[in-house]
Amino acid sequence: MHRIKSTPLTKLAAVAAVLVSGPLLLPTAPASALAGTPVADTGYTFTAKLAIGDTFRSCTGTLINAQWVLTASSCFAENPDLGYQAAPGAPKWKTTATIGLTRPGSTVSQVRDVVELVPRADRDLVLAKLASPVTGIAPLRVGATAPTQGEQMQGAGYGRTKDTWVPDTLHTGAFTVNQVDDTQLLIDGTPVCKGDTGAPVLREKNGLLELAAVASTSWQGGCLGSAATRTGAGATRVDDLAGWVKQSTSSTLTPWRLQMVATTAGKNLFHTIRDSNWDWSAFGDVEQEAGDIGEVAVASDAAISGTNTIVALGKDGTLYQAVRNPDGTWVAFRPLTTELGALAGIKKIAATSVGSELQLVAITDSRVYHATRDASGQWSKWGDLTAGIGALPSPTQVTIARVGDSTHVGVVLADGRAFHTIRHSDRTWDKWGEITKVPGAPAKVSDIAFAGTGNDLQAVLTEPTGGIKHVARLSTGAWTAFGDLAASVLGTGPVTAVAATSVDGEFHTAIIRDGVIKHTMRHTNGTWEPADTPPGAPADPTTLAITGSWN
Protein backbone atom coordinates (compact mmCIF):
# COMPACT_ATOMS: atom_id res chain seq x y z
CA MET A 1 0.00 0.00 0.00
CA HIS A 2 1.38 3.40 -0.94
CA ARG A 3 1.27 6.68 0.88
CA ILE A 4 -1.02 9.01 -1.04
CA LYS A 5 1.42 11.41 -2.61
CA SER A 6 0.73 15.13 -2.46
CA THR A 7 1.24 16.15 -6.06
CA PRO A 8 1.84 19.56 -7.63
CA LEU A 9 -1.18 21.83 -7.89
CA THR A 10 -0.41 22.30 -11.58
CA LYS A 11 -1.36 18.65 -12.14
CA LEU A 12 -3.78 17.78 -9.36
CA ALA A 13 -6.18 19.45 -6.94
CA ALA A 14 -6.57 18.13 -3.42
CA VAL A 15 -9.41 16.05 -2.08
CA ALA A 16 -11.67 18.26 0.03
CA ALA A 17 -13.18 17.28 3.37
CA VAL A 18 -16.61 18.60 4.21
CA LEU A 19 -19.73 18.18 6.37
CA VAL A 20 -23.50 18.56 5.91
CA SER A 21 -26.02 19.33 8.64
CA GLY A 22 -28.59 16.85 7.46
CA PRO A 23 -28.56 13.04 7.25
CA LEU A 24 -25.74 11.35 5.35
CA LEU A 25 -26.91 9.76 2.11
CA LEU A 26 -24.67 6.98 0.81
CA PRO A 27 -24.72 5.80 -2.80
CA THR A 28 -26.39 2.43 -3.35
CA ALA A 29 -23.15 1.21 -4.97
CA PRO A 30 -19.55 2.38 -4.69
CA ALA A 31 -18.79 5.36 -6.87
CA SER A 32 -15.86 5.39 -9.27
CA ALA A 33 -13.04 7.16 -7.47
CA LEU A 34 -14.32 10.10 -5.42
CA ALA A 35 -16.72 10.89 -8.24
CA GLY A 36 -20.03 9.83 -6.82
CA THR A 37 -22.38 12.77 -6.52
CA PRO A 38 -21.45 16.41 -7.17
CA VAL A 39 -21.97 18.57 -4.11
CA ALA A 40 -24.41 21.47 -4.00
CA ASP A 41 -23.03 24.96 -3.53
CA THR A 42 -24.15 25.06 0.11
CA GLY A 43 -23.24 21.46 0.97
CA TYR A 44 -20.03 20.04 2.34
CA THR A 45 -18.60 23.46 3.13
CA PHE A 46 -16.12 22.00 5.59
CA THR A 47 -13.74 21.61 2.67
CA ALA A 48 -10.23 22.74 3.52
CA LYS A 49 -8.11 22.71 0.39
CA LEU A 50 -4.46 23.10 1.36
CA ALA A 51 -1.97 24.69 -1.02
CA ILE A 52 1.51 23.94 0.32
CA GLY A 53 4.32 25.97 -1.16
CA ASP A 54 2.00 27.46 -3.79
CA THR A 55 2.45 24.79 -6.51
CA PHE A 56 4.66 22.43 -4.51
CA ARG A 57 1.95 20.22 -2.95
CA SER A 58 -1.76 20.10 -2.43
CA CYS A 59 -3.65 18.30 0.31
CA THR A 60 -6.99 18.25 2.05
CA GLY A 61 -8.03 19.21 5.57
CA THR A 62 -11.18 19.30 7.64
CA LEU A 63 -12.24 22.38 9.57
CA ILE A 64 -12.85 21.01 13.08
CA ASN A 65 -13.37 24.28 14.92
CA ALA A 66 -13.26 27.97 14.13
CA GLN A 67 -9.48 28.20 13.74
CA TRP A 68 -8.09 24.69 13.27
CA VAL A 69 -7.88 22.22 10.39
CA LEU A 70 -7.14 18.51 10.82
CA THR A 71 -5.20 16.78 8.05
CA ALA A 72 -2.39 14.29 7.38
CA SER A 73 1.04 15.20 8.71
CA SER A 74 2.63 13.57 5.64
CA CYS A 75 1.43 16.61 3.70
CA PHE A 76 4.16 18.58 5.49
CA ALA A 77 6.85 15.89 5.66
CA GLU A 78 10.16 16.44 3.92
CA ASN A 79 9.67 13.22 1.93
CA PRO A 80 6.29 11.56 2.43
CA ASP A 81 7.60 8.30 0.93
CA LEU A 82 9.98 8.00 3.89
CA GLY A 83 7.43 8.70 6.64
CA TYR A 84 4.75 11.03 7.86
CA GLN A 85 6.71 13.01 10.46
CA ALA A 86 6.32 16.78 10.22
CA ALA A 87 8.09 19.40 12.31
CA PRO A 88 5.96 21.32 14.84
CA GLY A 89 5.64 25.08 14.60
CA ALA A 90 5.35 27.22 11.49
CA PRO A 91 5.14 25.16 8.27
CA LYS A 92 8.38 25.00 6.26
CA TRP A 93 6.50 26.01 3.11
CA LYS A 94 3.95 28.78 2.89
CA THR A 95 0.55 27.11 3.24
CA THR A 96 -2.92 28.46 2.60
CA ALA A 97 -6.25 26.80 3.35
CA THR A 98 -9.33 27.49 1.27
CA ILE A 99 -12.40 26.48 3.28
CA GLY A 100 -15.82 25.96 1.70
CA LEU A 101 -14.72 25.70 -1.94
CA THR A 102 -17.15 23.04 -3.18
CA ARG A 103 -17.01 24.07 -6.85
CA PRO A 104 -15.51 26.82 -9.00
CA GLY A 105 -16.99 30.22 -8.27
CA SER A 106 -18.20 29.27 -4.77
CA THR A 107 -19.28 32.41 -2.91
CA VAL A 108 -18.91 30.96 0.61
CA SER A 109 -15.24 29.96 0.45
CA GLN A 110 -12.67 31.69 2.65
CA VAL A 111 -8.88 31.67 2.48
CA ARG A 112 -6.61 31.61 5.53
CA ASP A 113 -2.85 31.22 6.01
CA VAL A 114 -1.69 28.25 8.05
CA VAL A 115 0.59 29.63 10.78
CA GLU A 116 1.33 26.65 13.03
CA LEU A 117 1.46 22.84 12.90
CA VAL A 118 0.84 20.51 15.85
CA PRO A 119 1.70 16.97 14.66
CA ARG A 120 0.67 13.76 16.34
CA ALA A 121 3.69 11.55 17.02
CA ASP A 122 2.05 8.12 16.73
CA ARG A 123 0.05 8.50 13.53
CA ASP A 124 -0.22 10.39 10.23
CA LEU A 125 -2.11 13.35 11.63
CA VAL A 126 -1.52 17.06 12.21
CA LEU A 127 -3.51 20.04 13.44
CA ALA A 128 -3.03 23.19 11.37
CA LYS A 129 -3.76 26.54 13.00
CA LEU A 130 -5.30 29.23 10.81
CA ALA A 131 -4.23 32.87 11.03
CA SER A 132 -7.77 33.94 11.97
CA PRO A 133 -11.10 32.22 12.70
CA VAL A 134 -13.41 31.14 9.91
CA THR A 135 -16.95 32.51 10.16
CA GLY A 136 -20.09 31.46 8.34
CA ILE A 137 -18.97 27.82 7.96
CA ALA A 138 -19.86 25.30 10.66
CA PRO A 139 -16.95 23.04 11.68
CA LEU A 140 -17.13 19.25 11.51
CA ARG A 141 -17.10 17.56 14.91
CA VAL A 142 -14.48 14.92 15.63
CA GLY A 143 -16.22 11.67 16.54
CA ALA A 144 -15.64 9.85 19.82
CA THR A 145 -16.88 6.35 18.94
CA ALA A 146 -14.53 3.72 17.56
CA PRO A 147 -15.37 2.51 14.04
CA THR A 148 -16.41 -1.12 13.65
CA GLN A 149 -15.71 -3.68 10.98
CA GLY A 150 -18.35 -3.53 8.26
CA GLU A 151 -19.41 0.00 9.13
CA GLN A 152 -20.34 2.24 6.21
CA MET A 153 -18.42 5.49 5.83
CA GLN A 154 -18.20 8.26 3.27
CA GLY A 155 -15.49 10.48 1.85
CA ALA A 156 -15.43 13.62 -0.26
CA GLY A 157 -12.78 15.11 -2.46
CA TYR A 158 -11.26 16.67 -5.54
CA GLY A 159 -8.54 14.05 -6.20
CA ARG A 160 -8.02 12.10 -9.39
CA THR A 161 -10.99 10.13 -10.63
CA LYS A 162 -10.84 7.26 -13.09
CA ASP A 163 -10.96 9.69 -16.01
CA THR A 164 -9.99 13.16 -14.75
CA TRP A 165 -6.60 14.42 -13.59
CA VAL A 166 -7.82 17.69 -12.10
CA PRO A 167 -11.50 17.62 -11.11
CA ASP A 168 -12.90 21.05 -10.27
CA THR A 169 -16.08 19.99 -8.47
CA LEU A 170 -16.30 18.25 -5.11
CA HIS A 171 -17.64 14.69 -5.22
CA THR A 172 -18.52 12.06 -2.63
CA GLY A 173 -17.95 8.33 -2.43
CA ALA A 174 -18.70 5.40 -0.12
CA PHE A 175 -16.39 3.20 1.94
CA THR A 176 -16.67 0.05 4.02
CA VAL A 177 -14.47 -0.51 7.08
CA ASN A 178 -12.62 -3.81 6.60
CA GLN A 179 -10.32 -3.71 9.64
CA VAL A 180 -9.88 -1.58 12.77
CA ASP A 181 -6.43 -1.30 14.36
CA ASP A 182 -5.25 0.80 17.30
CA THR A 183 -4.50 3.88 15.20
CA GLN A 184 -5.69 3.01 11.70
CA LEU A 185 -8.62 1.78 9.61
CA LEU A 186 -8.44 -0.29 6.47
CA ILE A 187 -11.23 0.78 4.12
CA ASP A 188 -12.39 -0.29 0.69
CA GLY A 189 -14.94 0.71 -1.90
CA THR A 190 -14.33 4.04 -3.54
CA PRO A 191 -10.75 4.36 -4.84
CA VAL A 192 -8.57 6.81 -2.94
CA CYS A 193 -6.22 8.49 -5.42
CA LYS A 194 -3.20 10.75 -5.56
CA GLY A 195 -4.12 14.11 -4.12
CA ASP A 196 -6.40 12.56 -1.49
CA THR A 197 -3.91 12.98 1.36
CA GLY A 198 -5.77 14.18 4.44
CA ALA A 199 -9.24 13.46 3.05
CA PRO A 200 -11.87 12.80 5.71
CA VAL A 201 -13.62 9.54 6.38
CA LEU A 202 -17.08 10.52 7.62
CA ARG A 203 -19.86 8.72 9.45
CA GLU A 204 -23.38 9.61 10.52
CA LYS A 205 -24.36 9.38 14.16
CA ASN A 206 -27.73 10.43 15.56
CA GLY A 207 -28.50 12.26 12.35
CA LEU A 208 -25.27 14.29 12.41
CA LEU A 209 -22.04 13.88 10.50
CA GLU A 210 -18.74 13.48 12.32
CA LEU A 211 -15.12 12.84 11.41
CA ALA A 212 -14.01 9.25 12.03
CA ALA A 213 -10.64 9.13 10.27
CA VAL A 214 -8.27 10.86 7.83
CA ALA A 215 -7.03 9.21 4.61
CA SER A 216 -3.34 8.35 4.65
CA THR A 217 -2.33 5.47 2.32
CA SER A 218 -3.83 3.79 -0.74
CA TRP A 219 -3.35 1.08 -3.38
CA GLN A 220 -4.73 3.63 -5.89
CA GLY A 221 -6.60 1.03 -7.94
CA GLY A 222 -9.11 2.60 -10.30
CA CYS A 223 -7.33 5.96 -10.36
CA LEU A 224 -6.27 7.66 -13.57
CA GLY A 225 -2.64 6.88 -14.36
CA SER A 226 -2.49 3.83 -12.07
CA ALA A 227 -2.25 0.23 -13.28
CA ALA A 228 -3.26 -1.11 -9.85
CA THR A 229 -6.59 -2.84 -9.38
CA ARG A 230 -6.84 -2.90 -5.58
CA THR A 231 -8.93 -0.03 -4.19
CA GLY A 232 -8.22 -0.46 -0.49
CA ALA A 233 -6.86 2.41 1.57
CA GLY A 234 -5.61 3.19 5.03
CA ALA A 235 -7.04 5.97 7.17
CA THR A 236 -5.80 7.39 10.47
CA ARG A 237 -8.26 7.10 13.36
CA VAL A 238 -9.26 10.26 15.25
CA ASP A 239 -12.05 8.97 17.50
CA ASP A 240 -9.71 8.44 20.49
CA LEU A 241 -8.03 11.85 20.32
CA ALA A 242 -10.54 14.23 21.92
CA GLY A 243 -8.15 15.16 24.73
CA TRP A 244 -5.23 15.73 22.37
CA VAL A 245 -7.33 17.88 20.05
CA LYS A 246 -8.64 20.00 22.91
CA GLN A 247 -5.22 20.51 24.47
CA SER A 248 -3.48 21.16 21.15
CA THR A 249 -6.00 23.80 20.07
CA SER A 250 -6.13 25.62 23.41
CA SER A 251 -3.82 28.42 22.24
CA THR A 252 -6.73 30.05 20.38
CA LEU A 253 -9.14 29.94 23.32
CA THR A 254 -10.33 33.13 25.01
CA PRO A 255 -11.88 33.29 28.49
CA TRP A 256 -15.35 33.69 26.96
CA ARG A 257 -17.78 30.76 27.10
CA LEU A 258 -21.41 29.99 26.37
CA GLN A 259 -23.09 27.99 29.14
CA MET A 260 -26.36 26.11 28.61
CA VAL A 261 -28.80 24.33 30.91
CA ALA A 262 -31.63 22.19 29.60
CA THR A 263 -34.45 20.27 31.23
CA THR A 264 -35.87 17.08 29.76
CA ALA A 265 -39.22 15.34 29.59
CA GLY A 266 -37.99 13.17 32.46
CA LYS A 267 -37.64 16.37 34.54
CA ASN A 268 -33.86 16.07 34.68
CA LEU A 269 -31.45 19.01 34.39
CA PHE A 270 -28.30 19.03 32.23
CA HIS A 271 -25.47 21.49 31.63
CA THR A 272 -22.90 22.02 28.85
CA ILE A 273 -20.34 24.64 27.76
CA ARG A 274 -19.37 25.89 24.31
CA ASP A 275 -15.90 27.44 24.33
CA SER A 276 -14.54 30.18 22.08
CA ASN A 277 -13.17 27.54 19.67
CA TRP A 278 -16.82 26.53 19.22
CA ASP A 279 -16.27 23.15 20.89
CA TRP A 280 -19.04 21.79 23.12
CA SER A 281 -18.32 19.91 26.34
CA ALA A 282 -20.22 16.74 27.22
CA PHE A 283 -23.59 17.34 28.87
CA GLY A 284 -23.44 16.72 32.60
CA ASP A 285 -26.27 15.86 34.99
CA VAL A 286 -26.54 18.91 37.25
CA GLU A 287 -28.28 17.09 40.09
CA GLN A 288 -25.50 14.51 40.25
CA GLU A 289 -23.07 17.38 40.84
CA ALA A 290 -25.17 19.82 42.88
CA GLY A 291 -27.64 17.63 44.74
CA ASP A 292 -30.97 15.99 44.00
CA ILE A 293 -33.95 18.38 44.10
CA GLY A 294 -36.36 15.99 42.42
CA GLU A 295 -38.11 16.77 39.17
CA VAL A 296 -37.15 20.08 37.56
CA ALA A 297 -39.83 21.99 35.65
CA VAL A 298 -37.70 24.81 34.27
CA ALA A 299 -34.31 26.39 34.95
CA SER A 300 -32.38 29.54 34.09
CA ASP A 301 -28.79 30.66 34.49
CA ALA A 302 -26.70 33.82 34.71
CA ALA A 303 -22.95 34.29 35.05
CA ILE A 304 -20.92 36.79 37.06
CA SER A 305 -17.11 36.67 36.70
CA GLY A 306 -17.25 33.10 35.41
CA THR A 307 -19.40 31.88 38.29
CA ASN A 308 -22.65 30.55 36.86
CA THR A 309 -25.77 30.67 39.04
CA ILE A 310 -28.50 28.20 38.10
CA VAL A 311 -31.99 28.81 39.43
CA ALA A 312 -34.29 25.79 39.07
CA LEU A 313 -38.01 25.39 39.70
CA GLY A 314 -38.85 22.08 41.36
CA LYS A 315 -42.02 20.11 40.84
CA ASP A 316 -43.27 21.26 44.25
CA GLY A 317 -43.04 24.92 43.19
CA THR A 318 -39.88 25.61 45.19
CA LEU A 319 -37.08 27.65 43.65
CA TYR A 320 -33.55 26.35 44.20
CA GLN A 321 -30.15 27.93 43.56
CA ALA A 322 -26.90 26.17 42.65
CA VAL A 323 -23.58 27.70 41.62
CA ARG A 324 -20.99 26.37 39.21
CA ASN A 325 -17.53 27.76 39.92
CA PRO A 326 -15.05 28.65 37.16
CA ASP A 327 -13.00 25.53 37.98
CA GLY A 328 -16.01 23.30 37.30
CA THR A 329 -16.89 22.52 40.93
CA TRP A 330 -20.44 23.01 42.17
CA VAL A 331 -22.02 24.64 45.21
CA ALA A 332 -25.03 22.49 46.09
CA PHE A 333 -28.64 23.44 45.47
CA ARG A 334 -30.44 25.22 48.28
CA PRO A 335 -34.02 26.54 48.46
CA LEU A 336 -34.63 30.29 48.06
CA THR A 337 -38.07 30.48 49.65
CA THR A 338 -36.87 32.10 52.89
CA GLU A 339 -34.86 34.79 51.08
CA LEU A 340 -37.30 35.56 48.26
CA GLY A 341 -40.55 34.94 50.10
CA ALA A 342 -43.21 32.39 49.25
CA LEU A 343 -44.66 32.73 45.75
CA ALA A 344 -47.35 30.24 44.77
CA GLY A 345 -47.98 29.06 41.25
CA ILE A 346 -44.67 29.94 39.55
CA LYS A 347 -44.76 28.80 35.91
CA LYS A 348 -41.61 30.19 34.30
CA ILE A 349 -38.44 31.99 35.45
CA ALA A 350 -35.55 33.83 33.81
CA ALA A 351 -32.30 35.30 35.15
CA THR A 352 -29.61 37.75 34.06
CA SER A 353 -26.62 39.54 35.53
CA VAL A 354 -26.20 43.31 35.66
CA GLY A 355 -22.68 44.03 36.83
CA SER A 356 -22.26 42.15 40.10
CA GLU A 357 -26.02 41.95 40.63
CA LEU A 358 -28.19 39.01 39.57
CA GLN A 359 -31.80 39.69 38.60
CA LEU A 360 -34.61 37.16 38.47
CA VAL A 361 -38.13 37.31 37.03
CA ALA A 362 -41.00 34.86 37.44
CA ILE A 363 -44.56 34.59 36.20
CA THR A 364 -47.64 33.05 37.78
CA ASP A 365 -51.08 32.66 36.25
CA SER A 366 -51.73 36.40 36.50
CA ARG A 367 -48.66 38.30 37.70
CA VAL A 368 -45.02 39.11 36.86
CA TYR A 369 -42.50 39.28 39.72
CA HIS A 370 -38.92 40.54 40.03
CA ALA A 371 -36.12 40.03 42.56
CA THR A 372 -32.40 40.81 42.82
CA ARG A 373 -29.31 39.31 44.43
CA ASP A 374 -26.65 41.86 45.33
CA ALA A 375 -22.86 41.53 45.23
CA SER A 376 -22.81 40.12 48.76
CA GLY A 377 -25.18 37.30 47.78
CA GLN A 378 -28.26 38.69 49.53
CA TRP A 379 -31.62 38.35 47.77
CA SER A 380 -34.44 40.88 47.88
CA LYS A 381 -38.04 39.80 48.37
CA TRP A 382 -40.27 39.31 45.35
CA GLY A 383 -41.67 42.53 43.93
CA ASP A 384 -44.90 42.51 41.90
CA LEU A 385 -44.13 44.26 38.60
CA THR A 386 -47.70 44.13 37.40
CA ALA A 387 -48.87 45.96 40.49
CA GLY A 388 -46.55 48.86 39.73
CA ILE A 389 -46.47 49.19 35.94
CA GLY A 390 -49.66 47.54 34.75
CA ALA A 391 -51.48 44.22 34.82
CA LEU A 392 -50.91 41.61 32.10
CA PRO A 393 -53.55 38.88 31.86
CA SER A 394 -52.39 35.25 31.71
CA PRO A 395 -48.61 35.51 31.11
CA THR A 396 -47.11 32.32 29.68
CA GLN A 397 -43.45 33.16 28.94
CA VAL A 398 -40.90 35.56 30.41
CA THR A 399 -37.37 36.69 29.55
CA ILE A 400 -34.86 39.15 31.03
CA ALA A 401 -31.58 40.65 29.80
CA ARG A 402 -29.01 43.28 30.63
CA VAL A 403 -28.78 46.05 28.04
CA GLY A 404 -26.13 48.64 28.92
CA ASP A 405 -26.88 49.69 32.49
CA SER A 406 -30.55 48.74 32.20
CA THR A 407 -32.60 45.58 32.52
CA HIS A 408 -35.15 44.63 29.87
CA VAL A 409 -38.02 42.23 30.58
CA GLY A 410 -40.25 40.59 27.97
CA VAL A 411 -43.52 38.74 28.55
CA VAL A 412 -45.77 36.69 26.27
CA LEU A 413 -49.47 36.33 27.07
CA ALA A 414 -51.82 33.42 26.42
CA ASP A 415 -53.48 35.36 23.61
CA GLY A 416 -50.16 35.65 21.73
CA ARG A 417 -49.36 39.29 22.49
CA ALA A 418 -45.82 40.18 23.61
CA PHE A 419 -44.84 43.06 25.93
CA HIS A 420 -41.63 44.77 26.98
CA THR A 421 -40.47 46.98 29.86
CA ILE A 422 -37.21 48.50 31.08
CA ARG A 423 -35.72 48.77 34.58
CA HIS A 424 -33.38 51.76 34.57
CA SER A 425 -30.19 52.10 36.60
CA ASP A 426 -32.10 54.24 39.14
CA ARG A 427 -34.43 51.24 39.66
CA THR A 428 -37.44 52.89 38.08
CA TRP A 429 -39.55 50.94 35.59
CA ASP A 430 -41.21 51.94 32.31
CA LYS A 431 -44.81 51.04 31.57
CA TRP A 432 -45.37 47.99 29.39
CA GLY A 433 -45.00 48.49 25.64
CA GLU A 434 -46.51 46.00 23.20
CA ILE A 435 -43.93 44.42 20.89
CA THR A 436 -46.61 42.83 18.74
CA LYS A 437 -47.68 46.35 17.73
CA VAL A 438 -44.24 47.16 16.34
CA PRO A 439 -44.51 47.36 12.51
CA GLY A 440 -43.65 44.00 10.96
CA ALA A 441 -44.01 42.08 14.23
CA PRO A 442 -45.69 38.66 14.24
CA ALA A 443 -49.41 38.81 14.91
CA LYS A 444 -49.04 36.14 17.59
CA VAL A 445 -46.00 35.06 19.60
CA SER A 446 -45.50 31.75 21.41
CA ASP A 447 -42.16 32.45 23.14
CA ILE A 448 -39.55 35.18 23.46
CA ALA A 449 -35.89 35.55 24.45
CA PHE A 450 -33.85 38.72 25.10
CA ALA A 451 -30.13 39.50 25.15
CA GLY A 452 -28.17 42.74 25.22
CA THR A 453 -25.28 43.61 22.91
CA GLY A 454 -23.85 46.88 24.11
CA ASN A 455 -26.74 49.34 24.40
CA ASP A 456 -28.96 47.44 21.95
CA LEU A 457 -31.59 44.86 22.84
CA GLN A 458 -31.64 41.71 20.68
CA ALA A 459 -34.83 39.64 20.69
CA VAL A 460 -35.98 36.37 19.16
CA LEU A 461 -39.70 35.71 18.93
CA THR A 462 -41.21 32.37 17.96
CA GLU A 463 -44.65 31.98 16.39
CA PRO A 464 -47.26 29.26 16.93
CA THR A 465 -46.89 28.39 13.25
CA GLY A 466 -43.17 27.68 13.64
CA GLY A 467 -41.82 31.04 12.52
CA ILE A 468 -38.73 32.48 14.20
CA LYS A 469 -38.17 36.23 14.05
CA HIS A 470 -35.24 38.37 15.13
CA VAL A 471 -35.44 42.07 15.92
CA ALA A 472 -33.30 44.63 17.72
CA ARG A 473 -34.30 47.63 19.77
CA LEU A 474 -31.58 50.21 19.32
CA SER A 475 -30.27 52.50 22.04
CA THR A 476 -32.41 55.26 20.47
CA GLY A 477 -35.56 53.29 21.27
CA ALA A 478 -36.24 52.50 17.61
CA TRP A 479 -36.96 48.92 16.54
CA THR A 480 -35.23 47.46 13.49
CA ALA A 481 -36.99 45.44 10.80
CA PHE A 482 -37.88 41.87 11.76
CA GLY A 483 -35.69 39.19 10.18
CA ASP A 484 -36.68 35.59 9.47
CA LEU A 485 -34.46 33.01 11.18
CA ALA A 486 -36.57 29.96 10.41
CA ALA A 487 -35.90 29.37 6.74
CA SER A 488 -32.48 31.00 6.59
CA VAL A 489 -30.74 29.78 9.76
CA LEU A 490 -32.65 27.58 12.21
CA GLY A 491 -34.97 25.62 9.93
CA THR A 492 -38.73 25.27 9.95
CA GLY A 493 -41.20 23.54 12.25
CA PRO A 494 -42.80 24.30 15.62
CA VAL A 495 -40.42 25.60 18.29
CA THR A 496 -41.03 24.52 21.88
CA ALA A 497 -38.38 26.65 23.62
CA VAL A 498 -36.06 29.57 22.85
CA ALA A 499 -33.17 31.18 24.75
CA ALA A 500 -30.70 34.01 24.09
CA THR A 501 -27.58 35.63 25.51
CA SER A 502 -24.57 37.75 24.62
CA VAL A 503 -21.05 36.25 24.51
CA ASP A 504 -18.11 38.60 23.93
CA GLY A 505 -20.43 41.18 22.36
CA GLU A 506 -22.04 38.73 19.94
CA PHE A 507 -25.64 37.54 20.08
CA HIS A 508 -26.40 33.84 20.60
CA THR A 509 -29.76 32.13 20.45
CA ALA A 510 -30.84 28.51 20.87
CA ILE A 511 -34.13 26.72 20.25
CA ILE A 512 -35.70 23.31 20.73
CA ARG A 513 -37.50 21.99 17.67
CA ASP A 514 -38.67 18.41 17.12
CA GLY A 515 -36.81 17.39 20.26
CA VAL A 516 -33.48 18.74 18.98
CA ILE A 517 -31.46 21.68 20.34
CA LYS A 518 -30.25 24.11 17.66
CA HIS A 519 -27.87 27.00 18.29
CA THR A 520 -26.66 29.94 16.22
CA MET A 521 -24.85 33.24 16.74
CA ARG A 522 -25.03 36.67 15.16
CA HIS A 523 -21.77 38.52 14.65
CA THR A 524 -21.42 42.24 15.22
CA ASN A 525 -21.51 42.78 11.43
CA GLY A 526 -25.01 41.29 11.30
CA THR A 527 -24.10 37.93 9.74
CA TRP A 528 -25.36 34.65 11.21
CA GLU A 529 -23.50 31.40 11.72
CA PRO A 530 -25.05 28.18 10.40
CA ALA A 531 -27.00 26.37 13.09
CA ASP A 532 -25.20 23.68 15.08
CA THR A 533 -26.44 21.03 17.49
CA PRO A 534 -24.56 20.31 20.73
CA PRO A 535 -23.27 16.73 20.48
CA GLY A 536 -24.60 14.25 22.99
CA ALA A 537 -27.58 16.42 23.94
CA PRO A 538 -30.08 14.74 26.28
CA ALA A 539 -33.12 13.10 24.75
CA ASP A 540 -36.44 14.96 24.76
CA PRO A 541 -35.29 18.41 25.92
CA THR A 542 -38.17 20.61 27.06
CA THR A 543 -36.70 23.95 28.19
CA LEU A 544 -33.30 25.59 27.92
CA ALA A 545 -31.41 28.68 29.03
CA ILE A 546 -28.04 30.08 27.96
CA THR A 547 -25.64 32.63 29.38
CA GLY A 548 -22.26 34.08 28.47
CA SER A 549 -19.47 33.80 31.03
CA TRP A 550 -15.92 35.10 31.38
CA ASN A 551 -13.42 32.91 33.23
* pLDDT per residue as tens digits for the range 486-513: 988 999 999 999 999 999 999 999 999 9
Which pLDDT does position 11 carry in this prediction?
A: 24
In whole angstroms, what is the distance from residue 138 CA to residue 533 CA? Answer: 10
Measure the CA–CA gap between 92 and 77, rounded to whole angstroms: 9
243, with CB counted inside 10 A (0-12, 13-18, 19+), is: exposed
Q: Do 200 and 214 touch, CB atoms closer than 8 A? A: yes
31 pLDDT higher than 70: no
Strands (E) located in 442-515 = 447-453, 456-462, 468-473, 483-484, 495-503, 506-513
Summarize the confidence of residues 145-149 as an average pLDDT.
96
pLDDT band of residue 159 (cuts 50, 70, 90) is: low
Calculate the average pLDDT of the chain. 88
| Residue in 370, 482, 490, 368 with CA at minimum distance from that of residue 436 | 482
Lowest mean pLDDT among 55-64, 237-246, 273-282, 378-387: 55-64
Could you state, in order of their start, the residue ranges of all structural domains in the chain?
2-248, 253-550
Residue 23 — φ and ψ, nearest 5°?
-65, 150
Compute the chain's Rg from CA coordinates.
26
Rounded CA separation 348/540 (Å): 19
In a 3-state reduction of DSSP, which class is residue 1?
A: coil
Taking residues 398-408, what's their average pLDDT? 97
Q: Is the dihedral of CA 115, 47, 184, 231 positive or negative?
A: negative
Give the model confidence (pLDDT) of 310-324 as tens digits: 999 998 899 999 999
Residue 112 in this model has a pLDDT that exceeds 70: yes
Q: Is the pLDDT of residue 25 over 90?
A: no
Most confident residue range from 14-18, 211-215, 283-287:
283-287
Q: Which residues pair with 195 in a beta bridge?
A: none
**Which range among 98-102, 359-363, 537-541 shows the weakest confidence by mean pLDDT?**
98-102
What confidence tens digit (pLDDT) does each residue in 12-23 have?
Answer: 222 322 211 122
What number is the average pLDDT over the span 422-450? 97
User: How large is the average pLDDT for residues 36-50?
Assistant: 69
**Model's pTM, two decimal places?**
0.89
pLDDT class of 161 with cuts at 50, 70, 90: low
- Superfamily (CATH) of domain 253-550: Fucose-specific lectin (2.120.10.70)
What DSSP assignment string belongs to 339-397? HH---TT--EEEEEEETTEEEEEEE-SS-EEEEEE-TTSPBPPPEEHHHHH---SSEEE
CATH 3.20.20.80 for domain 2-248, yes or no, is no
* Confidence at residue 195, expressed as pLDDT on a 0 to 100 scale: 60
**Would you say 271 and 545 are in contact if contact means Cβ atoms under 8 Å apart?**
no
Using CA atoms, how far residue 522 sits from 357, 458, 459, 467, 485, in Å, is 26, 10, 12, 18, 11
Q: How confident is the model at residue 370 (pLDDT cuts 50, 70, 90)?
A: very high
pLDDT at 239 over 70: yes
Closest alpha carbon to 325 in 277, 423, 386, 259 = 259
Q: Are 53 and 78 in contact (CB under 8 A)?
A: no
Of the pLDDT bands very low, low, confident and very high (cuts 50, 70, 90), residue 162 is low
